[in-house]
Amino acid sequence: MSSSRGPNPQIVVLDTGGQYCHLITRKIRELGVYCEIRPSEVDSALLKGVQGIVISGGPSSVYEVGSPQVDPAIFDLGAAVLGICYGQQLMAWHLGGTVSPGERGEYGLAWVDIGGQAPIFEGISGRFSIWMSHRDTVTAAPPGFQVVASTETCPIASIADESRRLYGVQFHPEVVHTEHGMEILSNFLFGVAGCVRDWSPRAQAARIEEEIRQVAAGRNIFFFVSGGVDSTVAFSLCLKALGPDKVRALYVDTGLMREGETDFVKDMFESRGKEIFAAEHAEDRFLGALHGITDPEQKRHIIGECFVAVQEAILESGHYLDQNWILGQGTIYPDTIESGGTAKADLIKTHHNRVAGIQKLIAENRIVEPLHLLYKDEVRELGREMGLPEALLERHPFPGPGLAIRCLCSDTEEPVERLDEGWLAPVKSVGVQGDSRSYRPVLVLEEGLADTGIHERAGHLINRTQGINRVVALAASHTPISGWKTTASWIDAVRLERLRRADGIVRRLCLESGFEQHVWQFPVVLIPLGSGMWPDSVVLRPIHSVDGMTARAVPIPPDLLARLCRELLEVEGVNAVLIDLTHKPPGTIEWE
């Protein structure tokens, strides 16, 4: 569903393929300034009249053939320009500076020192925390530029040419974990670019409802709902826009759900009218299709295609396939961004709502995605505006493919390997490093979990250890790490029930202790790593985030962790309990 056009954009964000491109746009709108995204190579003539331009980060190297570029004439338009990460490198490259590969990448939390004066740092001084995700660095500033900030591994962390209103930062001010990030963006918008406030990100419901009516064009909408925040808010918007006679909620039990999830969804939707809800039990179909499959991308594709096949069967039986019906989805920005949804973005992982079957519906103009411009926090705010209950809005995000992407598989039997810093486990997880997808083994730390600085240590280990993108720490186990190995395994009823029980234990204890309120999401992951009669281990992944684009690993209180370990080790087949220490980046929130 395309968005209705807002006012003329004061700020244009040039997309060079960074996973945070849309996040920059949302943060600017959150500050009250309307902006839009354009391809990085857009002709500068089409940007005349804008107050400012932001060049996003991206996964490429500016010196490589075919890397995303900008029209150099944008620097002579008279508009203020801010280059972020790759954007700073691109600005330096075009204006006579030097960009080189760094000695090592810098991902996640870092500290920057302000060493000069620049309007974008107005009211900010000294040292503060920032979020990094880069490999290359600017090694010589262009003529006319001053170096105004640095980090321990990046001497040129910010450049400024105040006379031309050109600025660059190597870090990401748009992410929530960069201290003073919003101040930096605000300084650029109002102090440098001279913008005025013309946009309110909160007043979205009326606009979206009108878009729904335009896209529906008199047709009915059916939703395959999960019971999560996104699909429920999207469904509610359609229900409000079109009325109960024009909207239906269809729920598919894939067999990959959490304990009690199906009953929860059924009760929630039927309370709004029994006629709007129907459920389909398809557990055998999904588990049968996943038998023997170990590759995570293949798993996602299979789940997506199974969804489409089940959908088609349901729709045919309910006459939903005629031209009087279209499909509604709760797709939000991160779903499309991490799937390579921007013009030049690197594929981080494939989402089930972007597989071929769904793309076909999109091509036929038979899909409505009311939330496709919003992030998770905005969806919750929109739900509050609509009066939806907090019990729903504060539910932790849960992936569409369900427990399948938290039940890791292996096609080999391979032992762990001893390294200087810990144990290299032959279990691979998805990560994002320098805006690019990585799929690498995991480093297991045998001790140090009680150290308050262990999360920062994990970040340093990832930056300096080749071939890993995630660090976990041992909390408890039946057997010594030296004897651990992977086993050939896939998703079956036994392992799925093992994970479902573990997940249920974690949810119950976190709710009882109040810890659930201190995290944004708490994935529980089953990995095929163990010994003898205990072939699997459980990884706990509590994180704090705002929108899912970045995340910080959250320490578990010792008393709660002790209870978790005690109960989880009682689950049949569970060898160990591990704690994921990895921020995002470099590790994605989900392991697959």
Closest by alpha carbon to 247, among 286, 288, 278, 268? Answer: 278
Structure-token match 């009823």, residue found: 493
475 to each of 39, 324, 515, how far by Cα in Å? 47, 55, 18
φ/ψ (deg, to 5) at 104: -155, 155
Neighbours of 205 (CB within 10 A): 18
Catalytic one of 22, 134, 172, 352: 172
Structure-token match 């591994």, residue found: 153
In the residue annotation, 291 being an active-site residue is answered as no
Neighbours of 36 (CB within 10 A): 17
Name the token pair of 21.
């491109």
Q: Parallel, antiparallel, or unpaired: how do β-strands 436-445 and 423-433 relate?
A: antiparallel
Tell me 585's DSSP state.
Answer: T
Catalytic one of 21, 22, 134, 174: 174
What sign has the CA pseudo-torsion 475, 495, 308, 227? Answer: negative
In the residue annotation, 21 being an active-site residue is answered as no
Query: What is the C-alpha to C-alpha distance for residues 306 and 289, in angstroms, rounded to an integer?
Result: 8
| Bond from prior residue into 586 cis (ω within 30 degrees of 0) | yes
Indicate the SS3 state at residue 80: strand
Query: What is the C-alpha to C-alpha distance for residues 16 and 24, in angstroms, rounded to an integer?
Result: 12
Residue 217 CB contacts under 8 Å (≥ 6 apart), including other chains: none
In the residue annotation, 409 being an active-site residue is answered as no
Greatest distance between any 2 Cα atoms in the chain: 69
Three state DSSP letters for 84-102: ECHHHHHHHHHCCCEEEEE
Number of alpha carbons in the 13 Å side-chain half-sphere of residue 172 = 32
411 to each of 342, 487, 495, how far by Cα in Å? 33, 7, 15
Burial of 54 (0-12, 13-18, 19+ CB in 10 A): buried
Catalytic one of 21, 85, 195, 565: 85
Number of alpha carbons in the 13 Å side-chain half-sphere of residue 34 = 11
Neighbours of 29 (CB within 10 A): 20
Active site residues: 85, 172, 174
